[in-house]
């Protein structure tokens, strides 16, 4: 079974969705036969690599709200994520371009550790306030996730995996995916948003039933 997840490193609901899928997979009878592929999706492709502006200020400017309203929304989201085992500190998050982060997830996939790389980058952004658009920060986080430092440096110093990121985004557009997270199973079944673990488990079971002889 192929499970593809379109998401962004800088998307809190994508982090919640990751945890909920993991919870669903723990209960899924056929979990040993599931292959998870992380697909790239940039929510803010125009963002600079590293922006001194925090996310709350950016959201307030973008949506015409006060910064306090944006912070309140972040607090509510963090509270919702607690039952999923996440300790979010969204008030620390800084606006950043995630293109290079996605390229490193592709490098992780090449070495069979895309999940750990994605996890480390998400935790850094949502819980630790790390600037995930900064090359030096990305290099440190990627090696902490298990990637070879020389491989990481080679990717960050080149255009490698750039086309892979763009191809993921083109596929998202062709599939009508315009918001994340989006879970696609065997290119036949899909769930949008950070669905509850029960809903994602049902998605997996429905896909498995459709493939059963």
Residue 115 sits in a domain whose CATH number is 3.40.30.10
Residue 212 above 80 pLDDT?
A: no
CB 73 within 8 A of CB 40: no
Residue 41 above 80 pLDDT?
A: yes
Q: Going by C-beta distance under 8 Å and a sequence separation of 6 or more, which residues neighbour residue 82?
A: none
pLDDT band at 179 (very low <50, low <70, confident <90, very high): very high
Give the dihedral sign, CA 159/181/125/108: negative
Query: Residue 53's pLDDT is what?
Result: 83
| Rounded CA separation 9/15 (Å) | 8
Residue 49 above 90 pLDDT?
A: no
What are the beta bridge partners of residue 54?
A: 94
Q: Locate 26 and state its tokens.
A: 């723990």
Q: What is the DSSP letter of 194?
A: S
Transcribe 129-191 into DSSP letters.
---TT-HHHHHHHHHHTT--HHHHHHHHTS-TTHHHHHHHHHHHHHTT--SS-EEEETTTEEE
Quote the percentage of the chain above a pLDDT of 90.
95
Structural domain total, the chain: 1
pLDDT 10s digits, 73-127: 999 999 999 999 999 999 999 999 999 999 999 999 999 999 999 999 999 999 9
pLDDT 10s digits, 127-154: 999 999 999 999 999 999 999 999 999 9
Q: Going by C-beta distance under 8 Å and a sequence separation of 6 or more, which residues neighbour residue 177?
A: 6, 41, 184, 192
pLDDT 10s digits, 4-26: 999 999 999 999 999 999 999 99
- Give me the domain span that covers residue 24: 2-211
CB 128 within 8 A of CB 140: no
Q: Single out the residue of 178, 167, 180 nearest to residue 17, CA to CA.
A: 180
Tell me the whole-structure pTM to 2 decimals.
Answer: 0.96
Query: Residue 115's pLDDT is what?
Result: 98
Residue 16 CB burial class (10 angstroms; 0-12, 13-18, ≥19): buried
Q: Going by C-beta distance under 8 Å and a sequence separation of 6 or more, which residues neighbour residue 140?
A: none
Query: Residue 11's pLDDT is what?
Result: 98
């Amino acid at each position: 079974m192929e499970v593809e997840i379109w998401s962004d490193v800088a998307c809190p609901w994508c982090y919640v969705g990751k945890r909920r899928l993991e919870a669903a997979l723990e209960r899924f009878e056929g979990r040993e036969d599931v292959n998870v592929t992380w697909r790239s999706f940039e929510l803010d492709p125009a963002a600079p690599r590293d922006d001194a502006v925090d996310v709350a200020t950016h959201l307030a400017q973008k949506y015409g709200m006060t910064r306090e309203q944006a912070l309140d929304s972040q607090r509510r989201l963090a509270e919702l994520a607690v039952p999923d085992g996440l300790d979010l500190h969204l008030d620390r998050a800084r606006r950043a371009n995630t293109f290079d982060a996605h390229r490193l997830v592709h490098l992780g996939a090449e070495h069979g550790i895309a999940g750990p790389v994605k996890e480390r980058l998400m935790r850094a952004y949502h819980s630790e306030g790390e600037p995930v658009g900064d090359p030096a920060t990305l290099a440190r986080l990627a090696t902490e996730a298990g990637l070879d430092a020389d491989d990481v440096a080679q990717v960050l110093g080149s255009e490698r995996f750039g086309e892979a990121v763009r191809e993921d985004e083109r596929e998202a557009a062709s599939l009508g995916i315009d918001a994340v997270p989006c879970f696609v199973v065997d290119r036949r079944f899909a769930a949008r948003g950070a669905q509850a673990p029960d809903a994602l488990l049902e998605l997996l079971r429905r896909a498995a039933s459709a493939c059963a002889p």
